[in-house]
Structure 1
């Protein structure tokens, strides 16, 4: 069957998408789907913020670690380890409520997610037999949208049939284990003699002015992404008249995200990646501010759609553009920029929780987040005017 052909682009992309469902959906984003249920009877909003930051700390550690993985076979090995960590850490959340165990599990889940996203995406990019990798990687990163939709629908099915959030974690872990088997089978390379294995050394020269600006801008996007990625259902539920609608807005995030990568990457191929990043970040600011301006359900669904369409597209745009700055060793710059993204993701939940506790509303946290994303737009605009990149799309 062609689906099991390791060298077929369609199989490589399918495996990459499923790896994102495990690494990003099961290990990271389904936490957002399950958070309202967990807040009811298990954890406080403060501890939820801590768990989110710990998860992103693990993600940051994995991103930094990925920079130093030297050869392709090591990349594959750590990619597989990441999938295992994603599955096991999710299983643990379904069988215990010990706070210390949860913190360790979310830390390991974050590390595993980085291996699945950063290293896995580099493996996909290197394995693809394609002349236009920008469009192909757009298809791969659509897995970020699928990761939200598939895990959210599975969670809803568990609740529909009488299960609780603990059952949901267990079912998600089982699904993750099954999908991982396919990913491991497809995303591998033929063994080469040791003297033929290409090793990538740490190369400081890759940190061009363009890459440094990219790193700083992706930090601001990490902040912009994580506030809604962690709290969006609860933000919507907290608005007058919208209690219970948060889950639907989160589902809209995933649905908007599925086609967004392909659309944004096609636009980037035509108009240039930096131009399209700026447009996407402007739209993201609009989505961030909508809950502060309106408690209308349609407007907040639009907020969710804008968030899903932009943050998932921006991951694809930054990762692909960064990877192309070093076509021989894409994981190096992918890891470097994702490390900055990870720092933003750690900082944002903590300042959000502090502002929520002080003002008893999400508004101030959303205002500050929008301002930080605006700084990212200014950085990219500066880069566009002053630096030449190695690629134009």
Structure 2
């Protein structure tokens, strides 16, 4: 039977809340407190982040190889359970080696949840001609970042960094019940023609290569801020040792961003909107390198929060619209390239920061990479405009 679109989207919101906001991004606000209490270097912090993204990369690759057209809802539930477990284990163990292992496996589950939830929900929304609702689902990442950013200081104050991991794992466990009740496989066949523009295979390959290049560079660049922004702000005297407010602002801005960018994408073109978005993000990333004032960090958080999930929303919607029968596979391929960039970014930033004793080089380099990612979209902007003219004719 056809699922209620409200139920589908709510399930997607909390699936991404669990696997992405907690399983993947909770490390960002907890990191400075872990560094302080467990006494490890910025170099190791970068490697620990990269272990998670290495797992994310492997998970995305597995998602390409393993057929995911059937029983996606069952696979989704299993991976969410493991996501909660690996988050819990971060608070129950103390060795650096075990942390690397748990973050690695957490990355695998995050990739699976993202690919499964995105493809399953995109397909069901497309059948009901409500593909524009996908922005609400991706807003779940922002909601999770916002709530976890508020909870982490309270948990750490009372239970230290271990309690923060355990507390967030408990929250994820409760939210998983909602996911299990709302996301189910849709066995109905589409009764209407999907709004797809036919593209010749050769042309299709060209646009995909440009998109993958841009998406991979975005993964490499954005993750530097996505990993270290709280740790960098924590070193700034104006925050008084409590810089998690920066992360809360990132989440707050991310909540409506996907819906807003979806609107701009459908009205002005997905690739033009994505290019503008990346240029805005590049400015947000470099701001703390230009000034260490709290104002620059807050503006950076606003620009970064308003854009980083918008990239995923626009890119996956554009790709899915051109591959409706293989959405899981194309999203998995995109996620793999994205994850490759994410895996490299924190390690390079951690080593560069340790060597220079400053985050300026890492942030400046990340901003440059995102700027180049925007330039890679120029051929796709022209491609999309040409498609629009063909549709009119």
Under a length normalisation based on structure 1, what TM-score does the superposition of the two structures give? 0.90
The answer to whether the 8 A contact 1:16-1:143 is kept is: yes
Paired position in structure 1 for 2:260: 263
1:233 equivalenced with 2:230 (yes/no): yes
1:170-189 correspondence runs (5 A):
170-189=166-185
Aligned mates of 1:187, 1:302 — CA distance in 2 = 36
Aligned mates of 2:46, 2:156 — CA distance in 1 = 24
1:115 equivalenced with 2:112 (yes/no): yes
Aligned mates of 1:244, 1:389 — CA distance in 2 = 52
1:105 equivalenced with 2:102 (yes/no): yes
Change (3 A) 1:44 1:276: same
Aligned mates of 2:386, 2:267 — CA distance in 1 = 16
Change (3 A) 1:238 1:75: same
Paired position in structure 2 for 1:292: 289
The answer to whether the 8 A contact 1:82-1:114 is kept is: no
Paired position in structure 2 for 1:21: 17
Paired position in structure 2 for 1:79: 76
- SS of corresponding position for 1:188: coil
Paired position in structure 1 for 2:135: 138
Change (3 A) 1:191 1:325: closer
Change (3 A) 1:96 1:206: farther
Paired position in structure 2 for 1:200: none
Aligned mates of 1:148, 1:6 — CA distance in 2 = 31
1:304 equivalenced with 2:275 (yes/no): no
- SS of corresponding position for 2:114: helix
Paired position in structure 2 for 1:166: 162
Aligned mates of 1:175, 1:237 — CA distance in 2 = 25
1:88 equivalenced with 2:85 (yes/no): yes
Paired position in structure 2 for 1:49: 46
Aligned mates of 2:242, 2:98 — CA distance in 1 = 31
Aligned mates of 2:164, 2:237 — CA distance in 1 = 29
1:147 equivalenced with 2:144 (yes/no): yes
The answer to whether the 8 A contact 2:271-2:384 is kept is: no
Aligned mates of 2:300, 2:318 — CA distance in 1 = 26
Cα deviations across residues 357-390 of structure 1 (Å, max 9, x unaligned)? Answer: 1211000111111111111111101332357787
1:37 equivalenced with 2:33 (yes/no): yes
Aligned mates of 1:335, 1:207 — CA distance in 2 = 17
The answer to whether the 8 A contact 1:223-1:372 is kept is: yes
Cα deviations across residues 283-339 of structure 1 (Å, max 9, x unaligned)? Answer: 101101110111222221010010011111111111221222201121111111111
Let me know the Cα RMSD of the aligned residues: 2.2
The answer to whether the 8 A contact 2:147-2:248 is kept is: no
Under a length normalisation based on structure 2, what TM-score does the superposition of the two structures give? 0.90
Q: Give the deviation of 1:77 after TM superposition.
A: 2.9
* Structure 2 gaps, min length 5: 189-200
Aligned mates of 2:330, 2:353 — CA distance in 1 = 35
- SS of corresponding position for 2:307: helix
* Structure 1 gaps, min length 5: 193-203
Change (3 A) 1:159 1:6: farther
Aligned mates of 1:55, 1:389 — CA distance in 2 = 40
Aligned mates of 2:386, 2:153 — CA distance in 1 = 44
Aligned mates of 1:64, 1:390 — CA distance in 2 = 31
Paired position in structure 2 for 1:281: 278
Aligned mates of 2:388, 2:314 — CA distance in 1 = 13
Change (3 A) 1:349 1:190: closer
1:218-367 correspondence runs (5 A):
218-239=215-236, 241-367=238-364
Match 1:12 to one of 8, 12, 23: 8
- SS of corresponding position for 2:212: helix
Aligned mates of 1:191, 1:292 — CA distance in 2 = 51
Change (3 A) 1:214 1:113: same
